[in-house]
Chains A and B, each alone.
Chain A
Amino acid sequence: MKIQKANAGILTNFEVLDFLQTRGAKVDPMGCLGAVAASECKVYEYLLKTPACNQTRESIYEFVKRSEGFKLAEADKLNVINWRPSSAADAYAMIEECGKRFSKDDQGEACDEDERVQEFLDMVKEVLPPPPPKAEAEAEAVQE
């Protein structure tokens, strides 16, 4: 075995989900038999629980285009796409040196950090689709 390239590109959760879907992964454990291995099926099930489950290629392109003004590193963008932060605390966890990075606006001029974070979160909210309501929440809604 010879490793030609240890890292030939990083994939977002959405791309992995899409890939497994085209290979025939399903939630039904019996449906997976034959098409994909059990380990692939488990990864598929895990990814279905993440915000990647209803993203589309277009929404991710749109996000990458609109995030240019925020001067994020690739790793930060990946975190944001994979987990879709919904509050400022989420954003601080996912973006390295969030405070420093958000204290400047598009033109590099100083601005209010909290407002800038909120602006970013609004953009994320607009571009990336919201996660579907959880099964428990749905059950409660039915009961009501």
Chain B
Amino acid sequence: MFALSQIEHDLPMPPHLLSRPLPDAIKAELERLFLDKVIANLGLCVSVYDIRSIEGGSIHPGQGCSTYKVSFRLLMFKPFNGEVLVGRIIGYDDKGLQVSLDFFSDISIPGHLMQFGTVRGPDGRWMLKTEDGDELYLDLDDEIRFLVSSTKYPRIPIDQKEDDPPFAPMQIVGSIKGDGLGLLAWWAADEEEGEEAAEQEQ
């Protein structure tokens, strides 16, 4: 779910940070630049993990600040394909479900990556029709376990129409097709039944 990325950056140090010790000032500046931002193909930056080296400090002609060459590691949210995540359903439409991890919400589960037999109910909610004829609804705020199928980093659109959804720089496509995937309640229930059966045997 989380990975480290090593990055080198030429960092101009604004003069108002000169009063602070250099490593602190650099860390503050890096956090301002990268924290909570998506870097294409690297993921969402959660935190500055450590600073490996600070070099330079030269002042370029015409600039009122010193520039340092900083090598540092960022803690990125970057799930790999095939990783299992647990999130909460925050919405649905005709394309599929939207899932949130509280700190990251651009996750979609399209209809074709759901269990076989999942259709939209009369009220628009998605539901799984089981062989026994049960209708299992995928409701808002339910906890859902899914597999990361792919991660997309779309380019910034040149023109945004009014009715377009807000631009998301990182989109995760999830899949709930497979054993053990889907709502946590579906699989937890099985376990309880098993326990009950075990108790009865005793």
Contact = CB atoms under 8 A, between A and B. Distances in A.
A20 B84 contact: no
Contacts of B77: 43
B2 A13 contact: yes
A19 B179 contact: no
A42 B102 contact: yes
A83 interface: yes
Contacts, number: 111
Contact of B187 (A6, A43, A46, A87): A87
Nearest to B180: A93
Interface in A21-44: 23, 36-40, 42-43
A92 B178 contact: yes
A26 to B, nearest CB: 15
B6 A8 contact: yes
Interface residues of B, number: 39
A78 B79 CA distance: 11
Interface string B74-118: 010100101110100000000000000111000000000000000
Interface of B: 1-9, 31, 35-36, 41-42, 46-47, 49, 71, 73, 75, 77, 80, 82-84, 86, 101-103, 145, 147, 178-181, 187, 190-191, 194
